[in-house]
A = this chain, B = another copy of it.
Amino acid sequence: MKLSRRDFLLTSGVMVGLMASGKFLHSQAWAYTYPSEFEYAELDLEEVGWEAYRNYFKKWCCSTVLAGLVSQLRKRVGGPWKDFPIDAYRWAHGGLAGWGALCGTMVGAGIVIGLVTKDTDTAEAMVNDLAFFYSYTPLPQYQPRKILKAEIQNMSVAGTPVCHISVGRWMSAEGVAFFTEERAERCARLSADVAMKAAQMLNEWYKNGKKYKPKNRVLYNLLHNGITSQNNCMDCHGANVPNPEETYATLKK
């Protein structure tokens, strides 16, 4: 876990404080509702996870999270979900076509969240909570009903939704390189975790009369640097970060 103690305490403190107070403090100034034909129905989480896991090996992270969420919506809601083009978003894999920026699972989950919530505040709050889950939970936790690629041993805490940091930290924990069956297995399981968490939040919102209680403050108001980022700058940019080239050179192919 490569969060600094200060960052961890800061984040935890904010999370606990806001969960306790139930407050959601970001400005409402630019919030609005919008029309969308896409409706929601309560989803079976285990089925969401399995669909996301098993489709990963062909569709990769973004489209497989969509597969996990949309496969049941096609049956339970129908309508525009029937023709929803799951594969049209595959370019978001690997942090944008392999550029390693934002983990594609977040894009896939965000697309469904945005389509069904129809309110910028709700969508933003849910995506933000999902980013906190992604960044500060040891992952992957999903245990497939049948392992399709490889046995893996380790979980890691990404500290960020940025693809190459997240996957790199897991690779270091597991001691394996990127082009391995183990790494593919990890990303498949993590896709299941993100799809299931998104479905859990959407189920909660749906059962609560389409009202969502945010778990975390929206990040852009947490900033002490006045820029769109987390508060853990030196976690990536600091002089104590291991040299990535040296780190990856030690991993098993």
B179 in contact with A226 (CB, 8 Å): yes
Q: Is A199 an interface residue (CB 8 A)?
A: no
Nearest chain B residue, comparing its CB with the CB of A95: B228
- A100 CA / B234 CA spacing, docked (Å): 15
A182 CB to nearest B CB, Å? 13
A229 in contact with B160 (CB, 8 Å): no
A110 CB to nearest B CB, Å? 5
B87 in contact with A32 (CB, 8 Å): yes
Residues of chain B with a CB closer than 8 A to A118's CB = 85, 88
Which A residues from 197 to 253 make CB contacts under 8 A with B? 218-221, 223-230, 233-234, 236-237, 239, 241, 243-245, 248, 251
A230 in contact with B99 (CB, 8 Å): yes
Tell me the number of copies of this protein.
2
B123 in contact with A91 (CB, 8 Å): yes
A161 touches which of B60, B99, B244 (Cβ 8 Å): B99
Q: Is A157 an interface residue (CB 8 A)?
A: no
Chain A interface bracket (under 10, 10 to 19, 20 to 34, 35 or more) = 35 or more
B239 in contact with A236 (CB, 8 Å): no
A98 in contact with B36 (CB, 8 Å): no
- A94 CA / B120 CA spacing, docked (Å): 14
A164 in contact with B237 (CB, 8 Å): no
A247 CB to nearest B CB, Å? 9
B127 in contact with A91 (CB, 8 Å): yes
B100 in contact with A230 (CB, 8 Å): yes
Nearest chain B residue, comparing its CB with the CB of A230: B99
Q: Is A186 an interface residue (CB 8 A)?
A: no
Q: Is A155 an interface residue (CB 8 A)?
A: no
**With A88-B118, A120-B90, A178-B227 given, is the CB distance from A101 to B98 under 8 Å?**
no
Interchain residue pairs with CB less than 8 A apart (22): A34-B87, A35-B83, A85-B114, A85-B118, A88-B114, A90-B114, A91-B124, A92-B107, A96-B106, A96-B110, A96-B161, A97-B124, A97-B128, A97-B218, A98-B221, A101-B101, A101-B106, A164-B229, A179-B226, A227-B244, A227-B248, A229-B244
